[in-house]
């Protein structure tokens, strides 16, 4: 396949979708070796952002979303595995990890806490969402990715700590509740949609931006026009976030009981 053709270009770019997922474990290993809490989210962001930006500059938002989702899954698996193997070493690496772990362990043990109280967890969710949207919009996604790396990191640290405490199979299977997974997908959709306008505006101001290469879509047509609206993406994300809140309100106490044997094997 000729890489100069639209189909060849698309095939070449598709290979980059998996690169962030391959780099995420490297980011975790380097962060663990450094032993501080700041390096991990920085390295994790660097593992995915160039690929995210590349696909958005090529107006391939689906590829950008796929790369980011694969990266988030790989980052979570890497932090979880590293924590399960050595939780003491990882607690110095994951920002807010020990605090969130202690909060979740207390909730699992007694069923009481913010996790099961909508009046307490909804304001936190809205705060995270608002900060994420503002950061993603203002930085073409860069700082939104950094916040996402932080959130995925400490959630995964908790799951790894749960696996290390006992009953690792149950912890790994149920540590991430389904509503949290929906929230991650929603954040990815929102982040990609909010990142695109500023990236494309920057590209249009670069010398030579009128050239055919960077502005060519998969169908070969020029993509120098303004990006299409992402209304469907925002509506999908809103539905996922609503399902997140509903399922968490309905199922969090029962989920705590499901995980309780992990702390009392």
- 22-43 pLDDT, tens digit per residue, is 999 999 999 999 988 999 999 9
Cβ contact 214:57 at 8 Å? yes
Tokens 């391939």 locate to 60
Q: Which of 114-128, 174-188, 217-231, 251-265 has the lowest mean pLDDT?
A: 217-231
Q: Hey, which residues does 216 pair with through a beta bridge?
A: 222
Amino acid 14: pLDDT: 66
How far, in Å, CA of 45 to CA of 38, rounded? 12
Amino acid 1: pLDDT: 47
How far, in Å, CA of 177 to CA of 198, rounded? 34
Of 94, 215, 217, nearest in space to 160 by CA: 94
- Which ranges in the chain belong to alpha helices (H)? 6-14, 19-34, 39-57, 61-85, 87-90, 97-110, 118-138, 142-165, 168-174, 178-205, 231-263
Q: Which residues contact 106 (CB under 8 A, 6 or more apart)?
A: 112, 113
Tokens 């026009």 locate to 225
Amino acid 237: pLDDT: 97
Amino acid 224: pLDDT: 39
How many other CB atoms are there within 10 angstroms of residue 226's CB atom? 11
Percent of the chain's residues with pLDDT above 90: 77
Cβ contact 67:20 at 8 Å? yes
What's the first-to-final CA gap in the chain, in angstroms? 56
Domain residue ranges in the chain: 6-263
Q: Which one-letter DSSP state was computed for residue 246?
A: H
Q: Which helix (H) or strand (E) holds 115?
A: none
Q: What is the per-residue pLDDT across 185-244, written as a single tens digit (0 to 9) for each?
A: 999 999 999 999 999 998 888 776 544 344 444 444 334 344 567 899 999 999 999 999
Amino acid 9: pLDDT: 53
């Amino acid at each position: 396949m000729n890489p100069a053709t639209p189909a060849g270009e698309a095939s070449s770019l598709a290979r980059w979708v998996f690169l962030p997922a391959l780099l995420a474990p490297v980011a975790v290993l380097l962060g663990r070796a450094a032993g501080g809490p700041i390096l991990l989210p920085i390295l994790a962001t660097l593992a995915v952002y160039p690929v995210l930006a590349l696909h958005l500059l090529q107006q391939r938002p689906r590829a950008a979303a796929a790369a980011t989702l694969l990266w988030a899954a790989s980052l979570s698996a890497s932090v979880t595995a590293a924590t399960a193997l050595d939780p003491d070493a990882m607690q110095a690496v994951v920002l807010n990890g020990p605090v969130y772990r202690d909060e979740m362990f207390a909730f699992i043990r007694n069923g009481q806490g913010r996790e099961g109280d909508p009046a307490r967890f909804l304001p936190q969710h809205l705060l995270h969402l608002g900060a994420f949207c503002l950061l993603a919009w203002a930085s073409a996604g860069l700082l939104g990715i950094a916040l996402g790396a932080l959130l995925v990191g400490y959630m995964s640290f908790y799951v790894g700590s749960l696996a290390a405490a006992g009953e690792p199979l149950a912890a790994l299977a149920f540590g991430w509740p389904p509503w949290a997974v929906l929230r991650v997908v929603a954040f990815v959709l929102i982040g990609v949609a909010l990142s695109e306008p500023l990236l494309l505006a920057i590209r249009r101001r670069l010398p030579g931006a009128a050239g055919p290469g960077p502005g060519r879509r998969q169908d070969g047509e020029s993509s120098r026009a303004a990006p299409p609206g992402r209304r469907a993406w925002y509506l999908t994300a809103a539905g996922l976030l609503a399902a997140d809140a509903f399922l968490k309100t309905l199922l969090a106490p029962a989920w705590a009981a499901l995980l309780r044997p992990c702390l009392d094997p």
